Amino acid sequence: MKTIDELLADGVSGKRVFVRADLNVPLADGTITDDGRIRAVVPTIKALADAGAKVVVASHLGRPKGAPDPAFSLRPVAERLAELLGTPVAFAEDTVGPAAHAAVDGLEPGQVAVVENLRFNPGETAKDDTERGEFADQLAALADVYVGDGFGAVHRKHASVYDLPARLPHYAGYLIAREVGVLKKLTDDVERPYVVVLGGAKVSDKLAVIDQLLGKADRLLIGGGMAYTFLKAQGHEVGISLLQEDQIPAVKEYMERAEKNGVELVLPVDVVVSPEFPDLKTKAPSQHTVVDADKIPADQEGLDIGPKTRELYASKLGDAKTVFWNGPMGVFEHPDYAEGTKAVAQALVDCDGFTVVGGGDSAAAVRTLGFDENAFGHISTGGGASLEYLEGKTLPGLAALED
């Protein structure tokens, strides 16, 4: 995989460089609520611009249905990128149409343009190779060189991620190079003890990675909504907590394998429960109590790990040399149920080992809860991509960057 440093060494002045970024940031009423993914790609864009490239930045945002939708416009992202770069950024109101060509044609060396949401075009996500290829041809007409730096999208076989690199000289940007380097430290040459913390809503989303980790990790700490399927598999009442009953047989099998392989699988010993889900808009205080994990009332829902579990998990992370964390411990968006996630984040900060926050909601939680990003070894920009890499899957976007 060639890197951007090799591209810069060859010289890019005056060349049109297409940067496939992941600018899929959360928006609330048109306002960006977390700009982490934009900041993550700034070093690549700035290096190219400083070297005299004409930089064309493209990304998806949200899940539009293959047609323009103002709710998913990249305009606010282009405006924030301009602020971070400290220089004007042109914005094209289409992706491969007249506006995009005009914006790119108008670039001087060292200038940057952002084209509109890639997913406004059905060819970007098409299952049909021909349709995807035709869209990739249109994108290729905008550039001389391709730089892949959208790590959060490399697990997708999409036109701008998979097909476009085959049509242009291609290189990995700084972000992708760093993300891959970090993931190799979690798979190829792991310092032990290696502790993995998994949370989030659905156990089905994590089964494949658990399957792989049962042969690699020393400890697995389980939290979030997925924990209740594990507790149910142990025969405990989980009330109205999130439960995937159809996954119980798989969970039982994994629990048996963990014991057989000498992997310590740690589940909550107490949980914070409530008779109803909290209001995440108003953040109004909600009725909640702490109960032992095997005594959840039939009419209550588990929404966070309890104080004893927080202490337990912190102790299990204390001596770790390598930590990977993906998924919050509870409904961290509400202050009544944020303490579990906060405790895990703090335990990673206090840990002397190499700590990786695996993107997605975990990365959002770290920022929302006010932690210094530099206190962690690495905060990934791609939760789904990180998990699929750890599962041992071939990621289309990374394969496309290989020569």
Confirm whether 384 is a catalytic residue.
Answer: yes
Confirm whether 37 is a catalytic residue.
Answer: yes
Q: Please identify which of the residues 37, 54, 310, 342 carries the catalytic annotation.
A: 37
Exposure letters 9-27 (e unless 16+ CB within 10 A, then b): eeebeebbbbbbbbbbbeb
Gap between the Cα atoms of 339 and 344, Å rounded: 9
- Rounded to 10 degrees, the C-alpha dihedral 221/375/50/41 comes to 30
Confirm whether 202 is a catalytic residue.
Answer: yes
Q: Please identify which of the residues 2, 75, 202, 393 carries the catalytic annotation.
A: 202
Q: Please identify which of the residues 302, 383, 384, 397 carries the catalytic annotation.
A: 384
Listed in sequence order, the residues at least 6 apart from 37 whose beta carbon sits closer than 8 Å to its beta carbon are: 21, 22, 23, 24, 25, 152, 381
Confirm whether 393 is a catalytic residue.
Answer: no
Gap between the Cα atoms of 81 and 296, Å rounded: 47
Q: Please identify which of the residues 199, 225, 330, 360 carries the catalytic annotation.
A: 360
3-state helix/strand/coil string of 291-356: EECCCCCCCCEEEEECHHHHHHHHHHHCCCCEEEEECCCCCCCCHHHCHHHHHHHHHHHHCCCEEE
Residues with catalytic roles = 37, 202, 360, 384
